Amino acid sequence: MNNRPRLTVIGTGYLGATHAICMAVMGYEVIGVDVDATKIARLSEGEVPFFEPGLPELLTKALESGRLRFTTDFAEAAEFGDVHFICVGTPQRPGSEAADLTYVDASVTELARHLTRRALVVGKSTVPVGTAARLTELIHSTAPAGDQVELAWNPEFLREGFAVDDTMKPDRMVFGVTSAWAEEMLRAAFAPVLAQGVPVKVTDLQTAELVKVAANSFLATKISYINAMAEVCEATGADVHDLAEALAYDERIGGKFLRPGLGFGGGCLPKDIRAFAHRAEELGVGQAVGFLREIDGINRRRRARTVDLVVELCDGDVSGKKVAALGAAFKPNSDDIRDAPALDVAATLARMGAEVIVFDPAAMDNARRQHPELGYGDNAIDAARDADVVVLLTEWTEFRELEPAAMTAVVRQTKIVDGRHALDPVKWRAAGWEYRALGRP
């Protein structure tokens, strides 16, 4: 059994669906479980319910292999699996900075109720440090098999848009375990991944939980660092774009996650740094990560400052002005609009009285649902028709490749705010556009 454990994946969102599909493609027998019957029906029919390059093809392949199926039945999953991965969401709790563990607690409880033999439950969700210890107690007191069931923690670092690659060949794996058996089971569950030479860090549960939030906090800090430099650049006439490039040549600093602009959003970085700061305060070490609140503050200011630039280009008043908003997703190659800086800016401008027309290559349905008050175009050119200002908010390749002349033909005024430093200012200025970007003269 240890050579090829049978796997279940509880929670079939971005993380879980990708994990279930990739593990089946790599040769494992997998059941994906979710309480959302619609999602399960769509996945069973071969439809990925979100935008992720490469994943639909792999879902087809996995279903055809006969190794992957989906269910809403926890008893069936518990009976089937040797290793159960918990991949449910941990969003920000409404009215608080803390993580909402409702889905983690509910799925672990429901699974444990049916565990009648030795099995390994593996947490992948991002949780506050200490959660695994609490869940261990919960499992032991709930599962008919009692302490025959072990818990391990294996944080997930996948990026949306690169989810398949990040799952099949991650930078590293972290195994938080409390026994040699658990480590052995995890090594068996990830044998094809480890065979590629992917490094593994074996550690305790609490360190494994912390690795994830520490990594995301570092990434958020790096982005906010360069955006803080952009604020200083704005006060001095310096160019943050050149500054970032010059810093990046230092290998100790590196150029990744040093792209200035509108800042970070999405379902992970913003809520993870808030939940981490909150948890640290509970533990009495709030001061140690107090800087994360500043990181969050710098990031929020980028959105406000982008709105300011649009207002400036509208001579101080956006009411009645037409603004073309290019991008809605929190980053390119995704249809995810959770805490999306782009939509935040678009909605703020609309509240200030502007007529905002949004276009995004993938996130239109999600954006329309959340922001029915905004206008929507059929493409970038359509959105820009009669615009007083164009504002680029998500750096999709098709926006990077826009020809100024094509836009000039449709807009009312040739004014553009490049919220993502995605365009060539020389080219746009040469074509007669007033070009503005955060942190650039």
Please report, as ranges, the residues that interact with ligand UDX according to CB under 6 A: 156-160, 216, 219, 223, 257-259, 261, 263-266, 268-269, 330-331
Residues of the chain by 3-state class (helix, strand, coil), percent to 5? 45, 15, 40
Q: Clarify whether 22 is annotated catalytic.
A: no
Contact 260, 438 (CB under 8 A): yes
CA 303 to chain centre: 18
Of the pair 157, 435, the CB lying nearest ligand UDX is at 157
Query: How crowded is residue 293: how many other Cβ atoms within 10 Å of its Cβ?
Result: 14
Q: What distance in Å separates the CA atoms of residue 245 and residue 421, rounded to the nearest whole number?
A: 12
> Beta strands 434-436 and 7-10: pairing type?
unpaired
Tokens 């970032």, located at residue: 244
Q: What distance in Å separates the CA atoms of residue 204 and residue 87, rounded to the nearest whole number?
A: 19
DSSP 15-78: HHHHHHHHHHHTT--EEEE-S-HHHHHHHHTT--SS--TTHHHHHHHHHHHT-EEEES-HHHHH
- Cβ of residue 411: shortest distance to ligand UDX, in angstroms? 25
CA 88 to chain centre: 14
Of the pair 8, 216, the CB lying nearest ligand UDX is at 216
Of the pair 310, 393, the CB lying nearest ligand UDX is at 393
- Cβ of residue 391: shortest distance to ligand UDX, in angstroms? 15
- Cβ of residue 102: shortest distance to ligand UDX, in angstroms? 20
- Cβ of residue 119: shortest distance to ligand UDX, in angstroms? 26
Catalytic residue among 22, 87, 233, 268: 268
- Cβ of residue 49: shortest distance to ligand UDX, in angstroms? 17
Query: How crowded is residue 371: how many other Cβ atoms within 10 Å of its Cβ?
Result: 18
Active site (catalytic) residues: 268
